[in-house]
Structure 1
Amino acid sequence: MLSLVVRSRMSAIIPNITKLTSRVTRILGCNPGPMTLQGTNTYLIGTGNRRILLDTGDAHIPQYINNLKAVLNKNKILLEHIIVTHWHHDHVGGVRDVIETVSPGCKVWKYKRSDVEEDQKQYNCVKLYELSDGQTFTIEGATLNVIHTPGHATDHVVLQLKEENAVFSGDCILGEGTAVFEDLYTYINSLKIIQSLQPSVIYPGHGPIITDPIEKITFYIQHRTQRENEIIKLLHISNESITSLDIVKSLYKNTPESLHQAAKYVVELHLKKLLKENRVIKEDNDKWKIFLKNNM
């Protein structure tokens, strides 16, 4: 699943290359689309002549590679490391292009997926070094702490830039709209981890930078909590077990029927979270009911 975004508005146009601070330069992946907004934000991090590249956009995007090379050549920069936030192709797809045309021999780092057995062929046979939770990367002008934040994907990580009290959020938090997730239970926990860091700014994987991080994270959590409360309320007042599609038809009355399957997927992610928390019971034939002590 890609970085599917529920758009709230279209933001100002993001330039292909933007020097955001003395130690952070954003290079747009030049891969716009309904799943990626204006494209994947990749970041060049550090102040010296050896820096870290975070994410690489999609494969076979010459415009992105040319823009990256232009920045590196103009500033006489070499890449020390490439770190990818997670396995989705709009973040890791361009790794081979960068290695082959920009920085041969650069180390590529990624957290290991827990949901499937990974194969180097998935990443065009580029050798990947395994990230670990809490790992630190130090280069001139930047100290980056790796934090495992599953939910959007099992291998998703964010990076904390200590010098700026900033977080590179990947697809966990986006610059506009809200992101999708594979597991709501772990995703909410990851949001709370980022919230506990109390960042001053967030550099997202898509969309503009976030200058009100705490407000944004609070909105993300409240948005999901509101839908969860609606599901719980509906299950409470139901006299019998109901299906996830029954829940969709009740809660998404103003949503076109053509979108009900997409809504059903989101509702089921909420139900799975509630199941993990022992707040609902799943029966046969995709039927659900509220968990009560007298159900035991």
Structure 2
Amino acid sequence: MTAFVPSISKLSERVIRVLALNPGMMTLQGTNTYILGKGKRRFLLDTGDGTKPEYIELLKTTLAANDSIIEAIIVTHWHNDHIGGLSSILNAFKNDYKVYKVIDKHDDCKDLKLYPVKDNQIFKLEDITLRLLHTPGHTEDHLAVYLEEEKALFSGDCILGEGTSVFTDLWSYMNSLRRFLSLKMNVIYPGHGPIIENPIEKVNEYILHRERREQQILNCLPHEKSEAIAIESLVEVVYKDTPIQLHSVAANNARLHLAKLVKEGRVGITEGDYTKYWIK
């Protein structure tokens, strides 16, 4: 965590970032939530984790200072640091806002109603047009949001302002990253960390990082099924510079890379209790 992210930042005429004040190893400086629009009615993108009452006060202060109200809430994905603040916001503002997201099996909002969205769905107010992009990989339900008037991408947790992101499905994640390259982007506003002002370069950097790791894995795999190796053997070579206490995390990362390669038919996988891999 190197860059300073202010609690409140007016990033453009349509974008105000309000930090959810929940710093951590996975959240960096905290979750970036965004107030979008420049008129009376505005969208709120993400809600933080609900653990910091100070965030609610920041939200109220920012809306009042801009003579604006929340029209609706859009949630990028089901992780608690993005949706966990939803109940706190609804209670604090005494309002039954419509909350939009891709519906997912992990959703646990109790009595709160979530409104499903579709890929490429358009949300409009008088001064803003948002296109919702279903970009699975980090999670199955992940949404990115494209602000058409400013050619700005809100990347959620697909791309971070610092470091790299985690994923649950690498095949889908890579497709989502490549989809970003088809957009005309002036800037990326990430779910965590500072803004990204070299968007195409950053997306390509993310893709190249994963492709290099994939090639390292392929270089370690034998070409004969009879010589297939287990993930533990792979980790010892590919992640030799990673502290041993992090090898379990590295093994999960390698497992996700291998799942993608198996899906593509490039790598074979043995049946049984002790899974091994080889190049087909």
1:124 Cα deviation from its structure 2 partner? 4.1
| Residue type at the aligned position of 1:59 | G
After superposition, what is the alpha-carbon deviation per residue over 1:62-116, rounded to whole angstroms, capped at 9, x for unaligned? Answer: 0100000001122221111100000000000001111111250211111012xx3
1:188 Cα deviation from its structure 2 partner? 0.1
> In the alignment, which residue of structure 1 is the partner of 2:246?
259
Q: How many residues align?
A: 277
Choose the corresponding residue for 1:269, options 256, 262, 266: 256
Cα–Cα, structure 1 residues 103 and 75, in superposed 2: closer, same or farther, change >3 Å? farther
Question: Which ranges of structure 2 fall in alignment gaps of 5 or more residues?
Answer: none
Are 2:271 and 1:280 aligned?
no
Aligned structure 1 segments of 4 or more residues deviating by more than 2 angstroms? 236-239
Q: Is the Cα–Cα contact under 8 Å of residues 76 and 144 in structure 2 kept in the other structure?
A: yes
1:1-296 equivalence runs, <5 A: 10-102=1-93, 104-113=95-104, 116=105, 122-236=108-222, 240-284=227-271, 285-291=274-280
Structure number with greater CO (CA < 8 Å, separation at least 6) is 1
With normalisation by structure 2, the TM-score equals 0.96
Cα–Cα, structure 1 residues 103 and 77, in superposed 2: closer, same or farther, change >3 Å? farther
- Quote the sequence identity (%): 50
With normalisation by structure 1, the TM-score equals 0.91
SS of 1:281's partner is: strand
Q: Please, what is the CA RMSD of the aligned residues?
A: 1.3
| Residue type at the aligned position of 1:232 | L
SS of 1:108's partner is: strand
Cα–Cα, structure 1 residues 133 and 103, in superposed 2: closer, same or farther, change >3 Å? farther
Using the alignment, how far apart are the partners of 2:237 and 2:223 within structure 1?
12
1:229 Cα deviation from its structure 2 partner? 0.8
1:255 Cα deviation from its structure 2 partner? 1.9
Using the alignment, how far apart are the partners of 2:75 and 2:159 within structure 1?
15
Question: Which ranges of structure 1 fall in alignment gaps of 5 or more residues?
Answer: 1-9, 292-296
1:12 Cα deviation from its structure 2 partner? 2.4
1:230 Cα deviation from its structure 2 partner? 1.1
1:11 Cα deviation from its structure 2 partner? 3.0
Cα–Cα, structure 1 residues 237 and 249, in superposed 2: closer, same or farther, change >3 Å? farther
